[in-house]
Amino acid sequence: MKEFIIQCLDDLESLTGIRQTYYLTTGTDGKRKATVLIQGILEVCKQFSYISEADQQKIIREQMVKDQNYDALNSRTVWKWFNGVKDKYWELAHKPKFENAIPLEPLTPETEKLIRDWQASLLGLNSFHSNMDNFHAEMDKIQSEDEQRLAGIPVKSKSSKYVPDENLVLINQRRMKAARDRGLDKLDLRDLKQFTVEGMVIHCRNLEEAQEMYLEIYS
């Protein structure tokens, strides 16, 4: 970097007409002043270490021509140039890198069904579906036995009519409605939290919503 700065000072007059090197070399104690000047610029470069050396050189070279408001290439000038673009480079330097990240494969239909079932269980829908599935299965069995009897086919055993728990069905119907009314059935599982209201577990977004749902379901 030091050699680059020296070259910039040598090229400064040709590029911009600023005769900084001339006054350094012809003035008294010019060599010491040049050393201090270069060291000051190098210290500024260290302060902006998250800007790569290649980019620092590019910025200096471009601004030597673009900036119309400086009269010397020194530490203050270079600091101004770097400070003007620091946010972009800081963000790039601290942006998480996932070079070894493995691309995720699309979810299989089976996996998607498991996720839907899990979400439904959190909202209390599975118990309702299971209850109603048992009810329909029992009704199908009863109808089949009735058809056999009408056809004169002996029936070995008669099914006892299955009567679902009316209270459980009602509670689950209310639970489903409360969830659908708030769009909870369409949310990601990560958006739901578990709350206990009067001993009953309710999955929703916040405590206020849980209290409202409790009243709608159990009142």
* Backbone φ, ψ for residue 154 (5° rounding): -60, 140
Interval 110-123 mean pLDDT: 70
Percent of the residues in the chain that have a pLDDT greater than 70, as a whole number: 72
Residue 197's DSSP bridge partners are 200
Residue 187 has what pLDDT? 77
| pTM for this prediction | 0.44
Q: Which of 66, 94, 122 is the last residue of a domain?
A: 94
Question: Residue 174: pLDDT above 80?
Answer: yes
Q: Number of folded domains in the chain?
A: 2
Using the Cα atoms of residue 206, residue 208, residue 210 and residue 216 in order, give the sign of their dihedral. negative
Residue whose C-alpha is closest to residue 24's, from 11, 39, 9, 14: 9
Q: Is 84 found in the same domain as 7?
A: yes
| Contact criterion met (CB below 8 Å) for 34 and 10 | no
Q: Is 179 found in the same domain as 88?
A: no
Q: Is 120 found in the same domain as 89?
A: no
Please state, in angstroms and rounded to a whole number, the distance separating the CA atoms of residues 219 and 50. 61
200 DSSP 8-state letter: E
CA distances from 139 to 1, 32, 104, 143 (A): 86, 102, 45, 6
Alpha-carbon 147 to chain mean position: 59
Q: Which of 35, 68, 94 is the last residue of a domain?
A: 94
Domain that holds residue 77: 2-94
Structural domain contains residue 179:
yes
Q: Which of 10-19, 81-90, 183-192 has the lowest mean pLDDT?
A: 183-192
